[in-house]
Amino acid sequence: MSVELAPGHTQAMGGADAISYTDPLTGLGNRTRLREKITKLVRERSLDPAPFTIGLVNIDGFRPINDLFGRAAGDDILCQVAHRLRACMPPEAVVTRLENDAFAFVLPLVFDEASAEKNSELFQEVLSAPYDLGSRTVRLSASVGLAIYPYAGEDYKHLMENADTALYRSKRRGHGQVTLYSVDIAEEMKRATQLEQALRRAVIADEVDVLFQPIVDLRTGVPIGFEALARWYDDELGQVSPATFIPLAEERGIIVSLTDVLLKKAARAALSWPHDKYLSFNLSSVQLVDPATHGRIMAVIGEVGLEPARLGLEITETAVMADAAIANNIIDRLHAEGVSISLDDFGTGQSSLGRLREISLDKVKVDRAFVSEITRDRPSEHIVKAIIALCDGLDLEVIAEGIETVEQAAKLLQLGCVFGQGYLYGKPMPAGDVEDLIRASEHYT
C-alpha cells in the first residue's frame, strides 16, 4: 500500500504504520514523520554536509478562535492552514503538524539564509489571507522560527531546539515575524532567561519598587492623583528598565505575581493620601485576557483596604484588541465595582475612535508624542484639540502625558485640557516624597 505522508513523499507501509505517521485532523505528517525526515537528511548529508532548512510555525492569536467560535471552528481553521501550507510548499518539502496550532516544515533544497527567509515570507503571506468560517471570516498571522543544518545543529534534537529558540524570538517581536537562528540570537535568549530568573527572585523577595508620578490639575498645579510606576534595581544587573522587565514578565508568566506585589505596595502607600487623591495603576495586556483578573485586583485592594473608587486602572487599546470579548468583560466588572478605567497612549492605536464607544471608560490619556510637539507642530495641536472635543462630547476626562514645559501646559489649557502629568510637575518619586508634595500643595492652596 502506498500512502502519501507529505507533499512529494510516498512510502510503502501498512495501515497501522500510516496512522502512526499522520496527524488525524489535517492529514499532514506528524512529529514522528518530521523526526524521520530530518534524521534521514542528516544521515545522507553527514559525509557531504549540504545545508537544508527546517522551520517551526505558530498561528498568532489562535487561542481566542476556540474560545469565541468553538472547537469545531478552530479545527476548521487548522485544516485550512494545513491545506495552504501543503499547497505552497516546494515539491521536495515536507510539512507536518506537531500539536495544536504548531506546524513544521523541512526544505531539503533551501541552502542559505536569504532563500529560507524568502520561502517563509511566502508561507506567511499565504497564511495571512482571510479564513472562511461560513457566516464570518477571520484574519490571522503566523510566527516562524528557522534553523539551517549544519550551522544550527547537526542532529534532530539540536535543530529543533534552535528552531524553537528562533520561533520564541519571533513571538517576542510581535505577530507575523520570521527569525533565523544564529549564535547572537541564542545569546540574547540566554540573557533573557538569566534576567527572568533574577526577576523571579526579586518578586519573591519583594525587591521590585514602586514610584509615583503626580497627575495634576493644570489650572493650579495641585495633584489629583498619582500613577504608580515599577522600578527594579538588581545588585548584579544594575537598574533594569521597565521597558525590559515588564514585557519579559508578560512573556514568562511572571506578570500576575508581579502585579499583585506592585499593586499591594501602591495601594498601601495610597492609604495615607487624602481621600480625594486617587491611585492610577497600569494593567498588563496579558491580564486583559485572563478572566481571573477582576477577582485578583479586587482581592488585593480589599486586603489592603483601599476603596475601589480611589483606584484607576490604565489600559492600552492594543491590549483590548488582543481579545475584545474577554477584555471588555473584565473592564465592565471592574467598572461596576467603582474602579475607574483610563485608555492610555490614546492616538497611537489603529481604531481608537471605535474603542471609545465600546469600552467602559472614564478617562483618556493623550500620548506624549502629540503633547511634546503641541507648541511647534500644527498637526499635533489639531489632533489634541480634536481628541479633547471628542472626549468632551463623550463625557470623558482627558489627561495629557509628558508635559515638560510651561508653554505646553498653557497650550493644553487653551485647548480645554485641564489635567496632565509630566516632568514639569514632578518625576516619579518614592512614597515619602508623595506625602511631602501633597502637604506642600495643600499649604499652597
Residue 342 in this model has a pLDDT that exceeds 80: yes
Least Cα distance to 395 among 350, 365, 364, 352 occurs for 364
Q: What is the pLDDT of residues 305-322, one digit of tens each?
A: 999 999 999 998 777 776
pLDDT in the model for residue 17:
60
Which strand ranges, in their side-by-side order, compose the sheet holding 141-149?
A: 94-99, 102-107, 52-60, 141-149, 178-180
pLDDT in the model for residue 178:
93
> 42: how many CB neighbours lie within 10 A of its CB?
18
The confidence band for 32, taking pLDDT boundaries of 50, 70 and 90, is: very high
Name which of 6-15, 146-155, 181-190, 289-298 the model is least confident about: 6-15
pLDDT in the model for residue 13:
47
Instruction: Calculate the alpha carbon distances from 233 to 5, 181, 208, 255, 431 in Å.
Output: 54, 31, 7, 17, 17
Give me the percent of the chain exceeding a pLDDT of 90: 71
Give me the percent of the chain exceeding a pLDDT of 70: 93
Rounded Cα gap, residues 131 and 138, in angstroms: 5
Mean pLDDT computed over 319-341: 87
pLDDT in the model for residue 353:
61
Architecture per CATH, domain 192-444, reads as: Alpha-Beta Barrel (3.20)
Residue 348 in this model has a pLDDT that exceeds 80: no
Q: What is the pLDDT of residues 269-307, one digit of tens each?
A: 999 999 999 999 999 988 988 889 999 999 999 999 999
Q: Which residue has the higher pLDDT, 190 or 164?
A: 164
The three-state secondary structure class of 173 is helix
CATH code given to domain 2-181:
3.30.70.270
Matching CATH topology for 2-181 and 192-444? no
SS (H, E, C) 302-319: HHHCCCHHHEEEEEEHHH
Residue 326 in this model has a pLDDT that exceeds 90: no
The confidence band for 12, taking pLDDT boundaries of 50, 70 and 90, is: very low
Residues whose CB is less than 8 angstroms from the CB of residue 190 and which lie 6 or more positions away in sequence, other chains included: none
The confidence band for 1, taking pLDDT boundaries of 50, 70 and 90, is: very low
Q: Which residue has the higher pLDDT, 442 or 156?
A: 156
Least Cα distance to 147 among 90, 186, 96 occurs for 186
Rounded Cα gap, residues 110 and 91, in angstroms: 12
Burial of 183 (0-12, 13-18, 19+ CB in 10 A): exposed
Residue 347 in this model has a pLDDT that exceeds 70: no
Q: Are strands 131-132 and 102-107 parallel, antiparallel or unpaired?
A: unpaired
Rounded Cα gap, residues 369 and 350, in angstroms: 16
Side chain identity at residue 349, one-letter code: G
Residues whose CB is less than 8 angstroms from the CB of residue 418 and which lie 6 or more positions away in sequence, other chains included: 217, 218, 219, 398
Q: What is the pLDDT of residues 71-112, one digit of tens each?
A: 899 999 999 999 999 999 998 999 999 999 999 999 999 999
For residues 421 and 427, is the Cβ–Cβ distance under 8 A? no
Residue 2 in this model has a pLDDT that exceeds 70: no
* Mean pLDDT across the chain: 89
- Grid look-up 510637575 returns 425
pLDDT in the model for residue 346:
79
Side chain identity at residue 164, one-letter code: D
Rounded Cα gap, residues 274 and 222, in angstroms: 13
The three-state secondary structure class of 233 is strand
- Sequence-ordered strand ranges (E) for 334-426: 340-346, 363-366, 397-400, 419-420
Q: Are strands 340-346 and 363-366 parallel, antiparallel or unpaired?
A: parallel
Which residues are bridge partners to 216 per DSSP?
223, 420
Q: Which residue has the higher pLDDT, 21 or 97?
A: 97
Q: What is the pLDDT of residues 365-415, one digit of tens each?
A: 999 999 999 999 999 999 999 999 999 998 999 999 999 999 999 999 999
Domain boundaries, the chain: 2-181, 192-444
Residues whose CB is less than 8 angstroms from the CB of residue 176 and which lie 6 or more positions away in sequence, other chains included: 60, 124, 128, 141, 142, 143
pLDDT in the model for residue 133:
86
Which residues are bridge partners to 280 per DSSP?
227, 312
The confidence band for 355, taking pLDDT boundaries of 50, 70 and 90, is: low
Chain center to CA of 56: 20
Burial of 328 (0-12, 13-18, 19+ CB in 10 A): middle
